[in-house]
C-alpha cells in the first residue's frame, strides 16, 4: 500500500492499494497516540 497526502488538509491521506483500491484516511492524535481513521472509499466519499 502507498499512502499520500491529499487535499491540502493536515492529516488527510489517500491510501492506494496494488489492486487499484483507494481509501481516504485521517491521521490524528487520539489520547497521545497516532491513529489512522478510515473515512471511506474513493470515489464514494469525495472532498466536496
Q: Quickly list H helices, 1-48.
A: none
pLDDT tens string 36-46: 999 999 999 98
pLDDT digits (tens, 9 = 90+) for 22-34: 999 999 999 999 9
Say if 12 falls within a structural domain: yes
Helix (H, G, I), strand (E, B) or coil at 21: coil
List the one residue out of 6, 2, 48, 1 whose CA is nearest residue 24: 6
Q: Model's pTM, two decimal places?
A: 0.84
Q: Comparing 48 with 46, which gets the higher pLDDT?
A: 46
For residues 32 and 18, the answer to whether their CB atoms sit within 8 Å is: no
46 belongs to a structural domain: no
Count of domains observed in the chain: 1
- In the sheet with 33-41, reading across from the earlier edge strand, the strands are 2-5, 12-16, 22-30, 33-41
On whether residue 47 sits in a domain, the answer given is no
Note whether 24 and 39 are within 8 A (CB).
yes
Q: Is the pLDDT of residue 8 over 90?
A: no
The residue with greater pLDDT, 46 or 17, is: 17
| 17 domain-assigned | yes
Residue 29 counted as domain residue: yes
Amino acid at each position: 500500500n502507498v499512502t499520500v497526502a491529499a487535499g491540502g488538509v493536515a492529516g488527510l491521506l489517500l491510501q492506494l492499494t496494488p489492486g487499484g483500491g483507494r481509501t481516504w484516511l485521517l491521521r490524528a492524535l487520539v489520547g497521545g497516540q497516532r491513529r489512522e481513521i478510515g473515512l471511506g472509499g474513493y470515489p464514494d466519499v469525495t472532498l466536496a
